[in-house]
Amino acid sequence: MIFEEEIASFVSALRYERAMSENTCESYERDVVNFAAYMKLAGADGASVVDRSDIDGYFQAERERKMASSTRARRLIALKLFFRHLVERKIISENPMEVVARPKKARILPRILAEDEVAEMLDSVGVDTPRDLRDRALLEVMYGCGLRVSEVCQLSVSDVVSDGELLRVIGKGFKERLIPIGVAAGRVLAEYLACGRGAFARDDRRTEFFLTRLGKPFTRQGIFKVVRERAAAVGIAPGRISPHVLRHCFASHMLRHGADIRAIQEMLGHADIGTTQVYTHVDTKRFGEIHRRYHPRG
């Protein structure tokens, strides 16, 4: 088989057998395509001829190109999954990735906004028009529930359950979780459903929670635009804000107010507690600032 056929088989398995999210499938596909392009320059057009020296040469070239360690780590995972798939399918007999060590991934602390900055942004959006009501509800649920932008796009009206107390979310790998809806978010969500959503729902068959002015579900890019626009209105620079920053703020601010890290892990939908623990490093940094400011010998 040639690389194109092998990659198509691999991506199909990720999507339909492993039930990985579309974003993850696309990322891993790009990573394997990148490796295939490197191998084609060396005259190879199929995984059966790849050996350990080819893998080492590829990652050496990535280091020389100053590729970020996080990107190299993800590409290594993608290639491990790719070659494991080919062995399982008996497309190749030996796995050249079997003894390749995973590069250390640099820890990058998440960007967050101060609590008063988030509050100012949310409170600046009125509720007098359907558009303002929709945008306010969108921002409140992202910050109030810590959702990924893809999860917001997929929200349906029926996902507000338990008399508006809980939000049902389908996360990565189609895993379902329930997240409490806070008082502020719950109030605006109810008002949007009662008085705002009808202005956008041109088709009664539409079940998506958030709709554009054309009556269609929001895309990731559309939500990104709303977040940037509303942040700019209160002077928050574009480079400091994104839908994912609001997710970081949710976790960091909850931790700061004493929430249990295991509970935060569940609400964020993290499979590994280690992913959630990055927020403890953010708070540790704050503790250092407090110590230097207030200790008599700081």
Which one of the listed residues 74, 177, 244, 256 is annotated catalytic?
244
Of 136, 130, 265, 129, the C-alpha closest to 199 is: 130
Q: Is 172 a catalytic residue?
A: yes
Catalytic residue among 74, 168, 172, 256: 172
For residue 217, the SS3 value is strand
Query: In which residue are the tokens 């110590």 written?
Result: 291
Tell me, yes or no, if 244 is annotated catalytic: yes
State yes or no: is 279 an active-site residue: yes
| 228 noted as active-site residue | no
The β-bridge partners of 156 are 208
DSSP E strand stretches across the chain: 160-161, 166-170, 176-180
Q: How far apart are CA 4 and CA 260, in angstroms?
A: 46
Three-class DSSP category at 149: helix
Closest C-alpha among 124, 129, 155, 120 to residue 141: 155
Per-residue exposure over 86-117, b if at least 16 CB sit within 10 Å of its own CB, e if not:
bbeeebbeebbbeebeebeeeeeeeebbeeeb
Distance CA 284, CA 253 (A): 13
Any idea what DSSP says for residue 158? G
Active site residues: 148, 172, 244, 247, 270, 279
